Structure 1
Amino acid sequence: MSEPATLRVMTYNVRSLRDDAAAVSRVIREAQPHVVCVQEAPRFLRWRSRAAALARTSGLLVIAGGRGAAGNLLLCSLAVEVTHRAEVLLSHRPKTHPRGVVVAVCSLRGHRFALAGTHLDLAAAERRLHADELLDALPRSGVGADIPVILAGDFNEQREEPARRRIAAALTDTADDTPTYPAKNPVRRIDSIYADPRLRFVRSWVVGTADVMLASDHRPVVAEIDLEDRTS
C-alpha cells in the first residue's frame, strides 16, 4: 500500500534568466518544491548546461524540456521518481513564437501522477488553439487515462478568459485571484497550477519575497496537492 503523499508543485516563468539567476535559484530553494514547471528556460546558446546549472543551484534535477519543448522545463527533487518523459511542440503559425508542452510521468511515495508544463501565447487566438492541443497532447505523449494530471504554466490570460476556461473544463484550477504579473506590482493572475479532479487540492500561494522582485518579471505560484486518488 502507498504511503500518504502531498506533492508541492511550483510554476515559475524565469524570463530566460535575464535578471538575477542566483535569485531565481534562491526563490526555488526556499519554496522546497518536489517539482517545478519552468517557463522561458534557457533554450539557445549552451541551454543544456544553463538548465543543469539552474537545477543544481536550486537543489533539484532536470527531468525534461528546454529547447525541445520551446523553453518549458521540468525539475524535480530526489524524492520524485520519473518513469516517462515527452516533449511536444504545438502548432506554429508564421510570425508566432514556438509553443510546446513538456510532460513527465512521475511518482512520489508510490503515487503516480503526470506533470505537464506549458507557456501559452500572447495572442488570444493562439491560446485558444493551443489549450485544446495541449490537453490532446497528454494521451498522445504516453499519459494513460489512469494517471492523474497536473498542468502548470504561464497561460498569458486570466482565469475567466477562453483558453483557461477550456482547461478548467477538464482540470481544477488551484489558484485564487492573487495576481502574479508583473512581479514588482502584480495586477494579473496569468500563472497557475491545474490538478486532475481525482486529486485533492490542499492549498496554494503566490511567492512575494524580496528575491522574487530581483529574479524575474513573474511571481511564482506554489500548490500542495494530495496524490491520494479520491475516486479509488
Structure 2
Amino acid sequence: MNVKAEQLEMNLAEGSASSSPWPLTIATYNIHGAVGSDRRRSAQRVAAVLRQIDADVVALQEVPMGDEHIPDILSAITDLTGYQAVAGPTIDHQHRRYGNAVLTRHPIRAVRNVDLSFGSSEPRGALDADIECHGHLLRVVATHLGLRPAERRNQVKRLLETFDTDTMPVVLLGDLNEWFVWGRPLRWLTTRFQKTPSPLTFPSLRPVFALDRIWLHPRERLVRVWAHNTRLARQASDHLPLVAHIGR
C-alpha cells in the first residue's frame, strides 16, 4: 500500500465527523440533450456554461452518449472542459445510449449504478460514485426521477434504502421532477438531510419550479445554493444549473 492510499484509509477509519473533503463547489444540470431554448443542439454551449460555473463536481441529466442519430455529447463536453466523466446510462442499447453522468476534477474511487425504473415508465436510475476530494471520500449520488407522483415516491424510497449518511459525507443531487412543494418525496428527503435552499430552475427562460435539488450531509457545511442564471445558461438548456458551495 502506498502512502497516499494508507492516509486515505486512516481518514476513513476516523469516521465522518472528522472527514473533510471541503471546500468544494458542486452543481447539478439537466442539459436537455444539449438542446437549448432556441431548439439548437450545442455541446459547446453546455461546456461554456460549465466553464462559467467552474465546479469541482457536476451531476448531469438527459445526456446523449452516442448513437446512430445523436453524437456523443458527454465525450464532447469532457473534451471541451477537461473533466473526468462517469457515465450512468438509463437507456443503453445500440440505437440509443442516454442518461446521467458525473463530471469531476478529483479522482473517482468507486462507481455504482442504481436502477430506479418503475413499471412501464421511462427507465430511471442513480449514479452513485465515491470521489476522493482533498484526501477524503465524498459520496455523490446523482439522479433524475420520473414524471409521475407514484413513480417518484417509489424511487425516493428505493434511493434512500441504498445508502446511509453515516459512513461518509454524502451529496444527493439531480433533477427530482417534484412539482409539489409538500409532496412526500421532498418531506422524506428533508427528514434525512434537513431542509436546504431550493432556487427556481425550470423553465430556464422564466423559472417557476424548483425541480433541481442539492442535498448534503452534514448539512452545516452547505454555505450557499443558487441558480446559475446567465444569458448563456438560459439559452443552453430548458433547465438552469443549480450550484452549491460547501465550506469547511
TM-score surpassing 0.5? yes
Match of 2:43 among 2, 18, 21: 21
1:161 maps to what in 2? 183
Match of 2:227 in 1: 206
Asked if 1:114 is matched to 2:131, the reply is no
Corresponding residue of 1:73: 101
Aligned to 2:73: 50
What letter matches 1:22 in structure 2?
Answer: Q
Larger Cα-atom Rg? 2
Q: RMSD value over aligned CA atoms?
A: 2.4
Whether the aligned pair in 2 keeps the contact of 1:29 and 1:59 (CA below 8 Å) is no
Aligned residues of 1:148 and 1:198 also touching (Cα < 8 A): no
Q: C-alpha separation between the residues in 2 aligned to 1:173 and 1:25?
A: 31
How big is the shift at 1:219?
0.5
Q: Which residue of 1 aligns with 2:24?
A: 7
Aligned-partner residue type, residue 156 of structure 1: N
Q: Does 1:194 align with 2:215?
A: yes
Q: Deviations over 1:154-178 (max 9, x none)?
A: 11114432211111111134324x3
- Partner letter of residue 85 of structure 2? V
Superposed, 1:59-98 pairs within 5 Å as 59-67=82-90, 71-77=99-105, 80-94=106-120, 96-98=121-123
Query: Deviation of residue 147 (structure 1)?
Result: 1.3
How far residue 40 of structure 1 moved from its aligned partner, in angstroms, is 0.6
Structure 1 residue runs of 5 or longer lacking an equivalent are none
Tell me the alpha carbon deviations over residues 42-89 of structure 1, each in whole angstroms, 9 at most, x when there is no partner. 146178943121122133110332346961111101xx1211001111
Q: Which moved more, 1:41-50 or 1:106-115?
A: 41-50
After TM superposition, the structure 1 = structure 2 runs for residues 117-196 of structure 1, keeping only pairs within 5 Å, are: 117-138=142-163, 145-158=166-179, 159-176=181-198, 178-196=199-217
CA change 1:38–1:129 in 2 (3 A) is same
Quick check: 2:109–2:129 contact (8 Å CA) kept in 1?
yes
Give the counterpart letter for 1:93 in structure 2: G
SS of 1:169's partner is helix
The one-letter code of the counterpart of 1:25 is A
Q: Pick from 42, 55, 58: which aligns with 1:33?
A: 55
1:145 Cα shift? 4.0
In structure 2, the CA distance between the partners of 1:102 and 1:190, relative to structure 1 (3 Å rule), is same
Structure 1 residues 124 and 63, CA gap change in structure 2 (3 angstroms): same
- 8 Å contact from structure 1 (residues 51, 66) kept in 2: no
Deviation, 1:206, is 0.5
Show structure 2 runs of 5+ residues with no match: 1-10, 12-18, 37-41, 93-97
Range with greater deviation from structure 2 (38-47 or 164-173): 38-47
Letter matched to residue 162 of structure 1? R
Aligned length: 219
Find the residue that maps to 1:27 and give its secondary structure. Answer: helix
